[in-house]
Amino acid sequence: MATKITLDKMEKNAKQGKIGKISKKAGDSVKKGEKLLQVESVKGNTIIKSKVEGTIKEFMVSEGDKVKIGDTLLEIE
């Protein structure tokens, strides 16, 4: 079963931002706590880390996409 990685919170209570650098790609193996991507906002940058160990199934976002709290960013199997 895939685990959805969502944008749960951002730096300094920002509500939205845009996807910065994506550090991994679909098919990559990840460990719990490993950096996946960065979300940029006017209030600062938020690093999104893996909550589980597994393989990235797919990204729902691309670099430059606008996102808000609650959006699903990727899935890990």
Q: How many domains does the chain have?
A: 1
CA dihedral 47, 54, 56, 49 (to 10 degrees): 0
The encoded tokens of residue 45 equal 């940058």
User: Which domain CATH number covers 66?
Assistant: 2.40.50.100
Under the banding of pLDDT at 50, 70 and 90, the label for residue 70 is: very high
pLDDT tens figures, 17-67: 999 999 999 999 999 999 999 999 998 999 999 999 999 999 999 999 999
Q: Which residues form the domain of 53? A: 3-76
Tell me which residue of 1, 25, 7 sits closest to 72, measured CA to CA. Answer: 7
The pLDDT value given to residue 32: 97
